[in-house]
């Protein structure tokens, strides 16, 4: 580190560390602090070589320009001021703070008592935590230069996966790339996605995160990543060379293959946990701004996330940080969109959720963010937290009602037909009221959270003992069915039925109106041994078990077959709900005898059979879908077609299915069937 340096006031924008000419500008928001310091470290990150006072500016932003200084510099902040937790103030200059706008981090995070402001409780800690916390690192990345695929929602098929778990055991990806960003962009994985018909990769959290202390005490890790340490830095465990540009390389390769990248982002809470948690970054700079606290009692955090704290998006600088982070990942890292974890929190004021929240308005008017893919997980555990269908255009939403209704139907429950029909055709009851369409529904059967597809048909009870919480964690209402035996079995009859039920679920999902999302492993029979909350299983439980002949797996081939049908029918790209007045498309519902469904049929609770056709009068094509969830076969009469068209069996969940009589046949128990009238060519739509 040079001893001859130039210091000046610096600039208040942009926040964070910016390389300018031969120096670096530092800017950080801490309106209630008495003094801010930039602390510079040697290249090892172990020795603090300079502690430089920053300058206070209008609006509570502290700044300092240091020259000569370059990219690669390691630094952190220290904030001096009042330490009064009862008033929501946590200033402690002994705590080195990560820059909320850091674009890279150096070194490992280690849990220790040094991160806490009071140790023991009630005694102000004077212990320096620098040895146990990553250092912020000055970087200078060029904006993303690649060409983005920009798939329309009508053509989008999402594949949700974990960066590490997707390729950690992949047999044809080099060992050094397994479980990394570059592993996802390896030709073997890209070819797998393309063979499935995937257009969009949705990654579980890749913002830098740490494991909670209660997990490390058990010898476990936070595997999923919903415990953010920094909103701008890629999680470094997934790098090969420690260079964050690898993330850009991954995005470029995926884009070149026509595959979009969506990030699952966690802007609802941070790794600093409750008010008795560690001081790592935001708490030590502006606790009252970054976190929601109880009115008139700032010592108490509002915990609408269940994770100890809730980010306060009502605060202008908290809102700015989230928006700046989103733009950074789009403009610099090249991503195509985001799935927002517990998104209700981002639209909640002190008076509840509002479509007019400043965050939603800011997104809508932003020239960059309004043009990308935006997906909400529309619930949290706070008051009025369930907001499915309440987000404004252009938002899409995870549709858990779709998930549960389809599961319950194939589980064999009665009284499901009427609601199932709504879900199959885009859930108009949820989205049409605020001028949205079927493509606003993200349909899914399984996701990272809950049973895998294979476990859904193999377990009726969760088996989460490995998580160390006596099987108390995870959902209990799974609507799962084990096909006659709990867990693994080599009974041929049971395994055949399980495979058939997985195909039933996949066929239903991929031929429903809306945007389909597959969870990784659905195409290869991935099991977590009945663990429906594998958030801490950074091991073979959570990692996909690849085989050399993966492309020949019956589920992989089946998904490809169903998606091939989906892509040929324009009705699935149609962005508005189908009504009787539609001039092009028509949906018709039939009984087993091919009569039109009547009101009494819809309300016959014992019926577990549904048959319907989708017709395109413009192209003179038709699709017939038959779903039989009952445990007995059903004799079925196929409906008549106009003109010279005849039904042709295109696909079935039944192994070696065939149609001997084209007018009438027996629909096997717990099976699904697809018939085509005349396939459209790929150029239509």
* Four-CA torsion 13, 27, 301, 390, nearest 10 degrees: 20
- The verdict on whether 22 is a catalytic residue reads no
Convert 136-172 to b/e letters by CB count within 10 Å (16 or more is b).
Answer: bbbbeeeebeeeebebebbebbbbbbbbbbbbbebee
With left for phi above 0 and alpha for psi between -120 and 50, is residue 118 left, alpha or beta?
beta
- How far does CA 314 lie from the centroid of its chain? 23
DSSP H helix total and E strand total for the chain? 15, 31
Contact 675, 624 (CB under 8 A): yes
Q: Provide the strand spans (E) within 85-231.
A: 89-90, 105-106, 135-137, 158-161, 200-203
CA atoms within 13 A on the CB side of 282: 30
Residue tagged active-site, from 202, 272, 341, 561: 341
DSSP track, 291-308: B-EETTEEEEE--SSSSS
Residue tagged active-site, from 202, 260, 377, 523: 377
- Partnered with residue 136 across adjacent β-strands are 75, 105
Q: Return the SS3 of 119.
A: coil
- How far does CA 288 lie from the centroid of its chain? 28
- The verdict on whether 465 is a catalytic residue reads no
Closest CA to 440 of 453, 448, 429: 429
Contact 98, 134 (CB under 8 A): yes
Question: β-strands 515-519, 158-161: how paired?
Answer: parallel
What tokens were used for 30? Answer: 């801490």
Task: Give, as one character, the DSSP assignment of residue 133.
Answer: S
Which residues are designated catalytic? Answer: 341, 377
């Amino acid at each position: 580190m040079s001893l001859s340096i130039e210091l000046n006031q610096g600039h208040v924008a942009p926040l964070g560390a910016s390389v300018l000419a031969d120096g670096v500008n530092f800017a950080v928001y801490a309106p209630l602090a008495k003094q801010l310091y930039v602390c510079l470290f040697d290249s090892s990150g172990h020795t603090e070589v300079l502690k430089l006072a920053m300058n206070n500016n209008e609006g509570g932003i502290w700044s300092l320009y240091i020259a000569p200084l370059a990219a690669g510099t390691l630094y952190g902040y220290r904030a001096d001021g009042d330490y009064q937790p009862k008033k929501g103030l946590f200033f402690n200059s002994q705590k080195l703070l990560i820059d909320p706008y850091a674009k890279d981090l150096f070194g490992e995070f280690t849990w220790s008592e040094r991160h806490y402001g009071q140790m023991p409780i009630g005694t102000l800690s004077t212990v320096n935590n620098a040895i146990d916390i990553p250092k912020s690192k000055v970087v200078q990345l060029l904006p993303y230069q690649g060409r983005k695929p920009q798939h329309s929602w009508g053509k989008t098929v999402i594949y949700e996966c974990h960066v590490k778990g997707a390729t950690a055991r992949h047999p044809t990806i080099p060992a050094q790339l397994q479980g990394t960003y570059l592993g996802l962009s390896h030709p073997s994985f890209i070819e797998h996605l393309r063979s499935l018909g995937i257009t969009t990769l949705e990654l579980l959290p890749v913002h830098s995160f740490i494991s909670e202390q209660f997990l490390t005490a058990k010898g476990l890790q936070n595997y999923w990543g919903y415990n953010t340490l920094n909103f701008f830095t890629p999680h470094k465990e997934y790098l090969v060379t420690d260079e964050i540009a690898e993330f850009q390389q991954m995005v470029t390769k995926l884009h070149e293959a026509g595959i979009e990248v969506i990030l699952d982002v966690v802007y609802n809470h941070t790794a600093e946990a409750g008010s008795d948690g560690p001081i790592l970054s935001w708490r030590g700079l502006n606790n009252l701004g970054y976190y929601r606290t109880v009115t008139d009692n700032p010592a108490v955090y509002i915990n609408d996330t269940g994770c100890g704290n809730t980010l306060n998006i009502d605060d202008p600088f908290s809102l700015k940080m989230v928006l700046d982070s989103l733009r950074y990942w789009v403009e610099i890292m090249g991503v195509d969109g985001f799935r927002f974890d517990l998104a209700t929190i981002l639209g909640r004021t002190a008076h509840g959720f509002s479509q007019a929240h400043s965050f939603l308005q800011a997104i809508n008017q932003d020239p960059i963010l309004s043009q990308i893919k935006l997906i909400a997980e529309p619930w949290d555990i706070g008051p009025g937290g369930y907001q499915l269908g309440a987000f404004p255009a252009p938002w899409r939403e995870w549709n858990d009602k779709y998930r549960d209704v389809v599961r319950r139907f194939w589980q064999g429950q009665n009284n499901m037909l009427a609601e199932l029909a709504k879900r199959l055709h885009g859930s108009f009851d949820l989205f049409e009221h605020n001028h949205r369409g079927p493509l606003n529904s993200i349909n899914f059967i399984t996701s990272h959270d809950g049973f895998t597809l294979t476990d859904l048909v193999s377990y009726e009870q969760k088996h989460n003992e490995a998580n160390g919480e006596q099987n108390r964690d995870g959902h209990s209402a799974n609507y799962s069915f084990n096909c006659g035996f709990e867990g693994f079995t080599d009974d041929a009859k049971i395994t055949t039925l399980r495979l058939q039920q997985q195909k039933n679920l996949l066929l239903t999902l991929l031929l429903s109106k809306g945007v389909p999302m597959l969870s990784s492993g659905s195409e290869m029979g991935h099991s977590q041994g009945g663990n429906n909350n594998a958030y801490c299983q950074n091991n073979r439980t959570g990692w996909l078990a690849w085989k050399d002949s993966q492309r020949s797996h019956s589920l992989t081939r089946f998904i490809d077959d169903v998606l091939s049908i989906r892509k040929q029918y324009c009705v699935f790209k149609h962005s508005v709900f189908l009504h009787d007045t539609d001039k092009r498309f028509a949906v018709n519902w039939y009984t087993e005898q091919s009569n039109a469904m009547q009101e009494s049929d819809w309300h016959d609770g014992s019926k577990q059979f549904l048959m319907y056709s989708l017709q395109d009068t413009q192209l003179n094509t038709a699709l017939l879908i038959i779903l039989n969830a009952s445990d007995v076969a059903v004799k079925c009469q196929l409906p008549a077609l106009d003109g010279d068209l005849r039904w042709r069996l295109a696909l079935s969940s039944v192994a070696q299915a065939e149609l001997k009589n084209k007018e009438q046949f027996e629909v096997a128990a717990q099976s699904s069937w697809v018939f085509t009238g005349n396939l459209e060519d790929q150029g239509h739509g």
